[in-house]
Structure 1
Amino acid sequence: MSELLGKLWLSLNPFQPQILAFLLTIIGSVAAYFFRARVKLIYGHPNNSFHSLTTDTGPVNVFCEKHYVQNVGRKPAEKIEIAFSCTPSGITVFPPRSFEQSTGSDGLMMLAIPYLAPGELIIIDTIHVNSRTAELRAVHCPENVGRRVNFWVLRRFSATFNRFWLAAVILGVFYAVQLAISMVAYLVRANT
């Protein structure tokens, strides 16, 4: 098979520079397409809480939810629309920014945020008093449709701890590769 390909390549000798230029152009175009700066929205629901309060007028049920929306792309997102299944009793956005709240014809509550920088995370806190919670249904902008992901609330360790952990991982990978090479070499010597 390789002889046939070698003969075919030699027969195309007058056209080799054009073929190579064409292939490099295609490879460059595909690489430019996949590595271009673009908007990439993700959203999720990291946690919620329920509180039952007793008042003079009776029990009051309070549901609190956090929703995260993040642009993990390398291009700013503009005109982001966030759709909730119903209107909460109270809503706050952190970090503080301007937003518009409206109700769609189908009963969805729409939250419009004008701008989200690359890597920026916004937290939407909703409070529901004696009502069902609002599900975050969709996040989109003119350039991208958001994707639901799982967010976890984790402890943030110090930079020293993270560097130590990274060094340990690198040394562990190096040791594992060295061990695999030693085992293969031992098996090769044993079989000869």
Structure 2
Amino acid sequence: MDVLQQYGKEIFSIAVPLLTWWLNYFYKAKAKLKAANPHSFSFLIKEPLRDEDGKTIQDTQIAHTKSFLVRNVGREPATKVEFVLNWQPQFFNLWPSRHYTCQTQEDGRFVIIFDSLSPGEMIGIELLSVNRDLPTVINIRSDQSKAQFVEMIPMETISQFKLNVFRALVILGFSAAIYLSIQLAQFLILKTA
């Protein structure tokens, strides 16, 4: 205990930069993808399916839809974003409209590639299939990271004023907690305030 009292300020002066380095290393700005499936539905269409001769093959048809959202929640651009499906869907649509390239791999996997996704930017991918199953998503990735799938639920929006008040209170509380922790550590180690 005498060592801590005698060299407490020096130990503390070394610990603070090490903590700062650790926080900068693990929380530095980087690209981070999040993906969600906000909606999927199967429509029963009461329209008969007919062959070339006009014969009825089925009395009804089924249209399957599925939506995906991919967003870069990081603070750096994500490059070469790949959306990999089990096979090529019958129809797909992107929103907002942007440049992309498609590839079909040797094993039949279908890949939609975007050059980049800026911080905060989001892409919506809609799949549609009539009388066929929809492909499953195998992977969503970029050069920097793999997308994390998150669950989405409908939610009421909160006013910007309430959000700003909440943010200010959280920052004040966090700052007070850090200040009090430093004061307590100094008091316990050095027996001074």
TM-score between the two structures when normalised by the length of structure 2: 0.71
- For the 8 Å contact 2:87–2:110, the answer to whether it is kept is yes
- For the 8 Å contact 1:81–1:141, the answer to whether it is kept is yes
Find the residue that maps to 1:137 and give its secondary structure. strand
For 2:71, the equivalent position in structure 1 comes to 70
For 1:117, the equivalent position in structure 2 comes to 118
Q: How does 1:41-190 map to 2 (within 5 A)?
A: 41-53=33-45, 54-55=47-48, 57=50, 58=58, 59-154=60-155, 156=157, 159=159, 163=162
For 1:181, the equivalent position in structure 2 comes to none
Q: Cα–Cα, structure 1 residues 107 and 153, in superposed 2: closer, same or farther, change >3 Å?
A: farther
Structure number with the higher helix fraction is 1
Q: Cα–Cα, structure 1 residues 11 and 21, in superposed 2: closer, same or farther, change >3 Å?
A: closer
For 1:39, the equivalent position in structure 2 comes to 31
Q: Give the whole-Å Cα distance in 1 for the aligned partners of 2:146 and 2:22.
A: 22
1:92-129 per-residue CA deviation (whole Å, 9 max, x = no partner) reads 11011011111122222111011111111111011112
Structure 1: stretches of 5+ with no match in the other structure = 171-192
Q: For the aligned residues, what is the CA RMSD?
A: 2.5
Q: Give the whole-Å Cα distance in 1 for the aligned partners of 2:119 and 2:70.
A: 12
Q: Cα–Cα, structure 1 residues 56 and 139, in superposed 2: closer, same or farther, change >3 Å?
A: closer
1:135 positional shift:
1.4
- For the 8 Å contact 2:84–2:137, the answer to whether it is kept is yes
Find the residue that maps to 1:144 and give its secondary structure. coil
Equivalent residue letter for 2:30: R
Q: Give the whole-Å Cα distance in 1 for the aligned partners of 2:154 and 2:49.
A: 36
1:132-185 per-residue CA deviation (whole Å, 9 max, x = no partner) reads 11212211111111111112244546x37x739x78xx8xxxxxxxxxxxxxxx
Q: Give the whole-Å Cα distance in 1 for the aligned partners of 2:63 and 2:38.
A: 18
Which structure 1 residue ranges, 4+ long, deviate > 6 Å from structure 2?
none
For 1:9, the equivalent position in structure 2 comes to 4
TM-score between the two structures when normalised by the length of structure 1: 0.71
Equivalent residue letter for 1:35: Y
1:61-94 per-residue CA deviation (whole Å, 9 max, x = no partner) reads 2111101111111111111011112211111110
The aligned length equals: 157
**Between 99-108 and 85-94, the greater mean CA deviation after superposition:** 99-108
